[in-house]
Amino acid sequence: MRVEARPSDLVGGTPLIDLSSLVPNHNATLLGKMESLEPCSSVKDRLGKSMIDQAEKDGLLIPGKSVLVEATSGNTGIALAFIARERGYRCILTMPETMSVERRMMLLALGGEVVLTPKETMVHGALAKANEILQESGEKGPETWRDTDGTIDIFVAGVGTGGTVTGVSQYIKGCTEFDCPPLMPELYTVAVEPQEQMLITEARGGTKIGPQGPHRIQGIGAGLVPEVLDIDLLDEVVAVHSSKAEEMTLKLWMMGLPTGVSSGAIVEAAVQVCSRPENKDKIAVCIIPSFGERYFTHPMFAQTKTKAEALTKQPLPEPFDNTEFGFATSRG
C-alpha cells in the first residue's frame, strides 16, 4: 500500500488533463498541469514544501521556536501556513488588503497570522511590512517531462514568484548551474502576465499595450519583475487582459474545471499560442495553478453570488407516506 505519513508528503505528482478542445480546429495538443489538485489547491504548495524542507536540512528552523514571515498575495502564504502548522512553526503572513477573503480565511484556519497592508502599495507594501516584522522579531520539471514522455514542445506558465516558469525551463532546456543536462533545448517557453501590467514585456524590451495599472488576475502580476525569474529562458511573454482571463476561467468552470482567474489567463495565452499555424500538431503544457473556490469574492463571480443569495425555498408537494421510500415513519 502507498500511505503517506503527513499532508506535505502529498505535494507533487499532479496529473495532466487534455484541454485541446479549447484550441480552434484542434491545431495543437494542449495539456493542463493540474496544480489545483495539490493538498492546499495551489502550485505554491511545491514552493512552500521545498523552502521549508531546505531550511530544515540546513538547520535554519527549530520546531516550536522558529517563526516564518512571508509577504504573499495568498497562495504561497497558504502553502507555508499549512506546512508550518504540520511541523510546529509560527507563521506570519503580510498581504495586500485587496486579496480575497477566502485567502485570508484559509491562512487563519491553518493557524497563520495575517497582517494586511494598504492596497495602494500592492506587494511592495507587503514586502516592506514583512521586513519590518523581521527586524522586530518543486519538482514540476521532471513530472512534466515524464508525463509527456519527453514530447513537450511548448510550456506556458504565469509569473508570480517566477519559480515555476524558470524551474521547469531550466530542467528541460538544461542548466549548468544546477547540473541539469539539456533534455530539449528547443523547448518554447511562454510567460504570462496581465496586459494591464506588462513589466516583464518591458524588461525584455517589448512595448506595452493599452492603459497600465491595477488588474484583476490574482496570483500573477505582482507589480515587480521577480528576482527568481530568468528572463533569458523566456521565448515569449503573452499579455492577457483581466476580462479575457475571466472569460476563459468561466469557460473552464463550464467544462467542469473549477480554477482561479490566473488559470484562465494562462489557458487563454496557451490557446492563443496553440492556434498559430506554425504550432500545428505540437504539444503544449500549461500550468493550472490553483483551485477556483478560493476566488468566490472575485468580481467575476458577483453575478453568481447575487443569484445564490436570491434563491428562495420552494413549496413541497402534497403530503405523502414516507414509509414508501424506506423511512420508519410517515411524513407529518
Establish whether domains 43-137 and 143-302 are of one fold: yes
**Class of domain 43-137 (CATH, top level):** alpha beta
Of 36, 42, 100, 262, which is the active-site residue? 262
User: Residues 197, 224: contact at Cβ < 8 Å?
Assistant: no
> Distance (Å, rounded) from C-alpha 298 to C-alpha 312?
24
> Distance (Å, rounded) from C-alpha 93 to C-alpha 110?
12
pLDDT, one tens digit per residue, over 207-247 is: 999 999 999 998 899 888 988 899 999 999 999 999 999 99
Question: Of 157, 183, 188, 166, which Cα lies nearest the Cα of 32?
Answer: 157
Per DSSP, the residues of 85-127 read HHHT-EEEEEEETTS-HHHHHHHHHTT-EEEEE-GGGHHHHHH
Burial of 147 (0-12, 13-18, 19+ CB in 10 A): middle
State which CATH number among 1.10.1740.10, 2.170.120.12, 3.40.50.300, 3.40.50.1100 fits the domain covering 143-302: 3.40.50.1100
Who's near 315: CB < 8 A, 6+ residues apart?
none
What is the signed CA dihedral for 140, 150, 186, 177, rounded to 10 degrees?
Answer: 50
pLDDT, one tens digit per residue, over 307-317 is: 988 988 777 66
| Residue 242 a catalytic site member | no
Alpha helix stretches (DSSP H) within the chain: 44-57, 75-87, 101-109, 122-136, 140-147, 163-173, 199-203, 242-254, 261-274, 302-310
Cell numbers placing 250: 468561466
Who's near 164: CB < 8 A, 6+ residues apart?
43, 138, 140, 157, 158, 287, 289
| Residue 140 a catalytic site member | no
- The backbone region for 112, taken as left when phi is positive above 0, alpha when psi lies in -120 to 50, beta otherwise, is beta
pTM, 2 dp: 0.82
Of 44, 140, 173, 282, which is the active-site residue? 44
> Distance (Å, rounded) from C-alpha 67 to C-alpha 84?
9
Query: Mean pLDDT: which of 3-7, 9-13, 314-318, 325-329 is highest?
Result: 9-13
pLDDT, one tens digit per residue, over 241-289 is: 999 999 999 999 999 999 999 999 999 999 999 999 999 999 999 999 9
Mean pLDDT, residues 131-158 taken together: 82
Domains of the chain, by residue range, sit at: 43-137, 143-302
pLDDT band at residue 323 under the 50/70/90 scheme: confident
Cell numbers placing 93: 503572513
Question: Of 286, 78, 267, which Cα lies nearest the Cα of 165?
Answer: 286
